[in-house]
């Protein structure tokens, strides 16, 4: 499989067309941003780690009946994925209050949530990815009610699969962000990435943060945290 045109360059990934019209090639960058691009930096080795971790978790999900865009890992930082039209939503799943939720409702980070929280944000950097609800999503035709029902079902099932799997590596899945896309025939599948950039991973014993919050909050040890996740999940 060969890359052809660069189709899109995002903050953390580039997406290329390939010689197969139904396949895109994603290339993960070491660039890191936070706060809608206001904070910029580099996390050495991040591209390769996020590529490997994402592919590992996408394959775990496929084995558990979640359809994903994963096709084949091509090399350390590049992966072939199915061509989809991205639904312009960030689906956030929360098990424990942290980050923007802790701030919004005024509870300490680490506060137990008695049930799983699903949130939707409209993917738009200029607007700061504003939170929206299912009425907005239907009214603006970003997705149908039926598609959103499926997306919610998949997201909760993904949460169960990942929470259970990560707990075996002594990692608590605090929260994470998913993106879904549609194939030409309308099938909704999981797209984008699942990595320390898009999840909060805390060591289950010490509550040490093993994710991008170390970069966002200048906590130090950013590269080490990414390497630790790679090691715990893939033994590398």
Residues lying near ligand TMP in the complex (CB under 6 A) are found at 92, 98-101, 129, 175-177, 198-200
Would you say 78 or 175 has its CB closer to ligand TMP? 175
**Shortest distance (Å) from residue 197 CB to ligand TMP:** 6
Q: How far is the CB of 89 from ligand TMP (least distance, A)?
A: 12
Specify the residue, 48 or 179, whose C-beta has the smaller distance to ligand TMP. 179
Cβ closer to ligand TMP: 48 or 175? 175
* Paired tokens of 84: 């989809």
Q: Give the nearer residue to ligand TMP in terms of CB position, either 81 or 121.
A: 121
Shortest Å distance, C-beta 128 to ligand TMP = 9
Q: Minimum Å distance from CB 46 to ligand TMP?
A: 13
State the residue number with the nearest CB to ligand TMP. 99
Q: Which is nearer to ligand TMP, 18 or 95 (CB)?
A: 95
Q: How far is the CB of 161 from ligand TMP (least distance, A)?
A: 16
Q: Judged by CB, which is closer to ligand TMP: 45, or 99?
A: 99
SS (H, E, C) the chain: CCEEEEEEECCCEEEEEECCCCEEEEEECCEEEECCCCEEEECCCHHHHHHHHHHHHHHHHHHCCCCECEEEEEECCEEEEECCEECCEEEEEEEECCHHHHHHHCCCCCCEEEEEEEEEEECCHHHCCCEECHHHHHHCCCCCHHHHHHHHHHHHHHHHHHHHHHHCCCEEEEEEEEEEEECCCCCEEEECCCCCCCEEEEECCCCCECCCHHHHCCCCCHHHHHHHHHHHHHCC
- Minimum CB distance to ligand TMP, residue 189 (Å): 18
């Amino acid at each position: 499989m060969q890359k052809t045109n660069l189709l899109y360059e995002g903050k953390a990934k580039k997406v290329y067309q390939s010689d197969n019209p139904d396949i895109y090639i994603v290339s993960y960058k070491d660039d890191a941003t936070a706060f809608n691009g206001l904070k910029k930096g580099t996390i050495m080795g991040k591209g390769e780690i996020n590529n490997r971790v994402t592919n590992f978790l996408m394959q775990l999900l496929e084995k558990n009946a979640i359809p994903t865009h994963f096709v084949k890992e091509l090399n350390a930082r590049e992966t072939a994925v199915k061509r989809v039209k991205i639904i312009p939503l960030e689906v956030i799943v929360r098990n424990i209050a942290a980050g923007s939720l802790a701030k919004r409702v005024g509870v300490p980070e680490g506060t137990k949530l008695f049930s799983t929280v699903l949130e939707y944000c409209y993917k738009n950097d200029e607007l700061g990815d504003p939170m929206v609800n299912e009425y907005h999503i239907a009214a603006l035709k970003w997705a149908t009610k039926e598609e959103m029902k499926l997306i919610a079902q998949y997201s909760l099932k993904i949460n169960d699969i990942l929470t259970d799997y990560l707990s075996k590596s002594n990692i608590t899945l605090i929260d994470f962000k998913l993106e879904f896309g549609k194939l030409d025939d309308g099938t909704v599948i999981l797209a984008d990435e699942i990595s320390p950039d898009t999840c909060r991973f805390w060591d289950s014993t010490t509550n040490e943060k093993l994710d991008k919050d170390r970069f966002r909050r200048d906590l130090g040890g950013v590269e080490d945290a990414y390497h630790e996740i790679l090691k715990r999940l893939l033994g590398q």
